């Protein structure tokens, strides 16, 4: 009896009578019955294991990972159940295709459109170029708009002061607007769905327009006769590299590859030491089924445009060289946790250089201390970690800086560099809420006139911690008044390092150091909506350098409190359209007041950011 006949008899004859002995099932090749007097088909009773009942009714049930005892297995009998159909009952009309991208072209399973990045799209590398089997094209386009009203302490002098104002500080309300368009193209050879590309060429060009306005002259330009408004534009080459796949070293495509040209690189997970798009050569790859990754890289830094921060190819390559070696190990020391060790060598040979930025402000040498440029060699030894330990998330970085400064800004003599940096951000998730703590310690120089510099400085930082650029303290550049045309700290940085510019200037290891302690929480209110809050306290690690430069004693290390909140909305639940609105308040304490405030000046400063990103 075949399966169809058995099903018909089952539903027409009903289940066997109670107590009836089950009959053996007929052979699959037996002919179908032709008489109504045929005996009814009786299907054997099948014992199945049912899934556990609803977790909400299990007594003593705990969160995943904490369950120590489980309820007894539930066994359910199911008389009259129908056996699963045999394999021959399933259709065999499968259509073979020569490759995966023909699904859209031949079978019409999807509807590719050139402007749709989610269905198969030749412009996004989903299918090979016409006439080829393994050459792919990837195009990208990004619009990044930033509108930023903010206030910072604004020093003025007799030439730049507006009529009716007195004292050393002027009106402090400013506005910045940045519009950047980034276009990228990658030409890739190889079957990249399951193994690394054989060869690729990449090009990224950025077009920037920026507008800035201040309430005082001399803020946007060193020339106080110019109006306090500025409009500027720039085109920068942010990526231009060739990547070549050298070899595969395992059946699971562990590999070695080399990349040459302008390329992005970060020495650690959160951008504390060096994160930029720079000219260099990089050998990289992985081992042990991608559990181990390595990088060997060398960079010669490109100079930057002052107002856009983009790579300026119309300027000479800087005599600032960076060598990097690092090693990542996944699931070490515990599963879910990645450890990285790194060695970075920074050799700066700009001791004879004199350089002004496009606004007329000297950046090399920095006008601080002896006002002389310097040569220096620094080796950074670092350990970085990122991942989770059980239910706790943790990101941490530890760096030591060792080397020599050929011309200390206080003594004009060689000085040894001995500095260190530590940062950590642990967090814990409660369903849709993540709470976190943030801590940063960068050592400061306690004896500026000796032959040892102990203030930690980075090469080019872009820190992603403690609210990152939604924080007032991290986002805004704060001037150092009374000690030269340098910043107490630069924009989009966390180190109080007294540099002329993190993009165009030199590192400075005669600095007061930084202490930041704070906490925050992220709320995923909707899949499309996140709200982040942060509270940070900021202080100097040591005030000796500040007191020596200002010739002022008893400066408090307590700078103040930073409060910020940000709303991030992704209407499509993707990164293609992202809107962010943030606001921050910096409430100055005694140390900030010692440096910046007068009886008639504000002690609270603000920053707001509206950011819109559209990406294809």
Q: What is the mean pLDDT of each run of 10 residues along the chain (616 residues)?
A: 44 42 41 44 49 53 59 70 72 62 58 77 86 90 97 70 54 92 96 84 97 84 82 96 96 95 97 97 96 97 95 94 98 96 97 91 90 93 96 97 95 96 97 97 96 97 94 94 82 95 95 97 96 98 94 91 97 94 95 75 86 96
CB atoms within 10 A of CB 613: 17
Inter-residue contact 424 to 387 (CB < 8 Å) = no
The CA radius of gyration of the chain, in Å to the nearest whole number, is: 33
Question: What is the per-residue pLDDT for 134?
Answer: 87
- Delineate the domains of the chain, giving CATH numbers in brackets: 1-94 (no CATH), 135-615 (2.40.160.100)
Question: What is the per-residue pLDDT for 37?
Answer: 44
Question: What is the per-residue pLDDT for 334?
Answer: 94
Inter-residue contact 340 to 327 (CB < 8 Å) = yes
Strand partners, 338: 386
Inter-residue contact 458 to 478 (CB < 8 Å) = no
Sequence-distant (≥ 6) Cβ neighbours of residue 569 within 8 angstroms: 528, 529, 578, 579, 580
Inter-residue contact 270 to 399 (CB < 8 Å) = no
Q: What is the pTM of this model?
A: 0.82
Question: What is the per-residue pLDDT for 26?
Answer: 41
Question: What is the per-residue pLDDT for 394?
Answer: 97
Kindly list the distances between the CA atom of residue 531 and the CA atoms of 120, 371, 472, 563, 580, in Å, as whole numbers in the listed order.
33, 45, 17, 14, 10
Q: What is the DSSP string of 70-139?
A: -PPPPEEEETTPPPPPPGGGS-------SSTTHHHHTS--S---TT-SSS--TTBTSSPPTT-SSEEEEE
CA–CA distance, 530 with 571 (Å, rounded to integer): 11
CB atoms within 10 A of CB 531: 15
CA–CA distance, 41 with 507 (Å, rounded to integer): 88
Instruction: Quote the DSSP letter at residue 155.
Output: B
Is 543 in a helix, a strand, or coil?
A: coil
Question: What is the per-residue pLDDT for 28?
Answer: 40
- Nearest alpha carbon to residue 470 among 334, 578, 329, 586: 586
Long-range interactions of 28-34: CB distance < 8 A, separation 24+ = 28/2, 28/86, 30/1, 31/1, 32/1, 32/2, 32/5, 33/1, 33/5, 33/9
Sequence-distant (≥ 6) Cβ neighbours of residue 220 within 8 angstroms: 212, 214, 226, 228, 229, 230, 359
Q: Which residue intervals of 127-226 are DSSP H helices?
A: none
Strand partners, 324: 297, 344
């Amino acid at each position: 009896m075949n399966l169809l006949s058995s099903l018909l008899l089952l539903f027409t004859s009903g289940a066997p009578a109670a107590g009836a002995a089950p009959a053996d099932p007929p052979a699959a090749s037996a002919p179908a019955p032709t008489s109504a007097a045929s005996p009814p088909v009786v299907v054997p009773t099948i014992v199945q294991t049912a899934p556990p009942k609803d977790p909400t009714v299990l007594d003593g049930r705990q969160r995943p990972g904490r369950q120590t005892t489980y309820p007894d297995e539930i066994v359910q009998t199911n008389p009259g159940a129908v056996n699963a159909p045999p394999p021959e009952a399933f259709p065999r009309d499968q259509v073979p295709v020569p490759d995966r991208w023909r699904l859209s072209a031949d079978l019409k399973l999807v509807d590719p459109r050139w402007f749709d990045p989610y269905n198969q799209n030749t412009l996004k590398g989903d299918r090979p170029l016409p006439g080829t089997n393994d050459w792919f094209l990837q195009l990208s386009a990004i619009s990044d708009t930033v509108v930023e009203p903010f206030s910072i302490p604004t020093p003025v002098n007799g030439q730049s002061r507006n009529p009716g104002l007195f004292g050393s500080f002027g009106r402090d309300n400013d506005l910045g607007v940045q519009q950047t368009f980034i276009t990228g193209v990658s030409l890739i050879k190889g079957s990249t769905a399951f193994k690394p590309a054989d060869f690729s060429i990449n090009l990224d060009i950025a077009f920037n327009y920026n507008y800035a306005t201040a309430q005082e002259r001399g803020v946007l330009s060193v020339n106080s006769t110019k109006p306090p408004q500025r409009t500027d534009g720039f085109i920068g080459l942010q990526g231009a590299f060739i990547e070549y796949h050298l070899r595969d070293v395992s059946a699971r495509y562990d590999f070695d590859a080399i990349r040459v040209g302008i390329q992005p690189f970060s020495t650690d997970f959160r951008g504390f030491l060096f994160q930029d798009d720079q000219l260099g050569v990089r050998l990289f790859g992985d081992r042990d089924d991608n559990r181990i990754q390595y990088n060997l890289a060398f960079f010669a830094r490109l100079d930057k445009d002052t107002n856009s921060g983009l790579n300026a190819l119309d300027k000479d390559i800087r005599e600032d060289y960076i060598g990097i070696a690092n090693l990542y190990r996944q699931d070490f020391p515990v599963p879910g946790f990645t450890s990285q060790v790194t060695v970075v060598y920074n050799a700066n040979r700009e001791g004879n250089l004199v350089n002004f930025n496009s606004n007329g402000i000297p950046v090399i040498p920095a006008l601080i201390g002896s006002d002389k440029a310097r040569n220096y060699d620094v080796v950074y030894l670092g350990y970085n970690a990122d991942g989770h330990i059980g239910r706790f998330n943790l990101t941490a970085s530890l760096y030591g800086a060792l080397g020599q400064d050929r011309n200390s800004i206080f003594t004009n003599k060689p000085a040894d560099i001995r500095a260190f940096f530590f940062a950590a951000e642990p967090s814990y998730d409660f369903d849709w809420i993540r709470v976190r703590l943030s801590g940063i310690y960068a050592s400061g120089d306690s004896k500026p006139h000796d032959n040892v510099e102990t203030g930690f400085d980075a090469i080019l930082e872009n820190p992603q911690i403690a609210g990152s650029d939604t924080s007032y303290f991290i986002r805004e550049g704060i001037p150092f008044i009374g000690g030269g045309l340098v910043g107490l700290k630069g924009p989009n940085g966390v180190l109080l390092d007294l540099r002329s510019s993190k993009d165009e200037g030199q590192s400075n290891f005669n600095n007061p150091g930084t202490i930041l302690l704070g906490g925050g929480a992220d709320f995923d209110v909707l899949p499309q909506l996140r709200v982040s809050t942060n509270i940070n306290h900021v202080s100097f690690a040591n005030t000796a350098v500040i007191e020596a430069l200002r010739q002022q004693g008893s400066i408090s290390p307590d700078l103040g409190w930073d409060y910020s909140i940000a709303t991030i909305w992704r209407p499509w639940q993707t990164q293609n359209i992202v809107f962010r609105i943030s606001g921050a308040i910096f409430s100055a304490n005694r140390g900030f007041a010692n440096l910046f405030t007068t009886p008639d000046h504000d002690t609270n400063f603000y920053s707001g950011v509206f950011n819109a990103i559209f990406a294809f």
